[in-house]
A and B are shown apart, each in its own frame.
Chain A
């Protein structure tokens, strides 16, 4: 450029403490230990404290629902950003897991502590088997199939009048106390969140990210792509089925509304708002979206209008997502430099 008009640009620099925290020596300083653990501790403490600060039963119930959606959203984020499969199957997983837990509970009188793990494993296996045919393909097939199954299953239950038909299955055991219910869901969410975070950094996670980037290269390396995809779908389905099982025990009722598209769409919106590929972002997205949609109930039919406006505004003005933005601000600072 012409030398007499100096130009400036904003540059982003990693904070000194972030760089210092990258080595093992960060364990030797309290400041750096705090820097590493503070965000995680804040999330854990925040979630654990939520039931205590909520004003009443109603809002405590909302927190449980937030966690259910958060489980689904973490699953969606995992599948979309680490495996490259866009899943619209939240409703499918919730429905399968929910009905399984309901059947196990009413037919064999198993307590929730047994039905939830059983529904998780059996449901995830079922979902994976049903989705297996479309796994070798790339593209929209997976999204479409996962979208079709819940519609299909709901209509089957309605038309054949099985599993309680349109009335659903009633008389399911609850958790026997709202505190147990709250902390069971929150604890599960935290475990799942940190487990998935771990998983994506292991060797399997590496392969899965490779599948997202270039599945032909993974095939050429001698790995069975479909098997890895099935594994990822199993993990996601397990999370979804578990949230479904929790849901029926919270509501003490299982019905075809568990196949409602809300369970597919809201996790995606939460991932967009929270920041895709961060795993913690979708949880934060759910913490915002679910209460907002409850608050908007006062507006009646206009609820959806406001809800949509908030979503669109987010995508226009902060499309990167809250978590990506926050991470950047936490790790980096900006300053003007002379070019």
Chain B
């Protein structure tokens, strides 16, 4: 427990809060860097995901690419891009964005796919245009899964942004590598705890957000038992939608 005491002292030491390498600056860097990469990935992945989800075309290609991207080791991608682009912020931004795309893409089209086909057919039969169906039916009903995708992308990016400090002078990861170099365990552990705290805070925010975006009519039909049963949701068999309210 002594080690944690040292790490806590390091976190609370006012000397670590000053200057361009201080905790607040590194924390903001880490956060801004993460948010920028996730937003950039969203701008690419969400429109493509919606298109795949709505038309049902290109799904197998999307599954294959996102599966393949997931197997690529993040450290390998970071170091390779760093050798190409040179040391600086460019390499990690590219790598982080690439890594954030697959989960967001999967969330976007899976959200559309989980909707009962009869709901969409009903929307079409009452005279909604395709763009109305996308905007008023598919996007709201698919939102929880999209947010889940953005959530796992964000967690992935936070973790990788820590690693990015290996190739660029950025973020909370600097404390980990600086401590490693000088064998300062308090700094390493303190920095690690800060990253963990940041990740868990964002995880908490996303958990709340995921609950808030469930449309009201859907939320009332969802019981804990249903959720336990929907282990592997068959497309179009989402119990929350098929069973309605009880």
A and B physically associate? no
Using a CB–CB cutoff of 8 Å, the interface residues on chain A facing chain B are: none
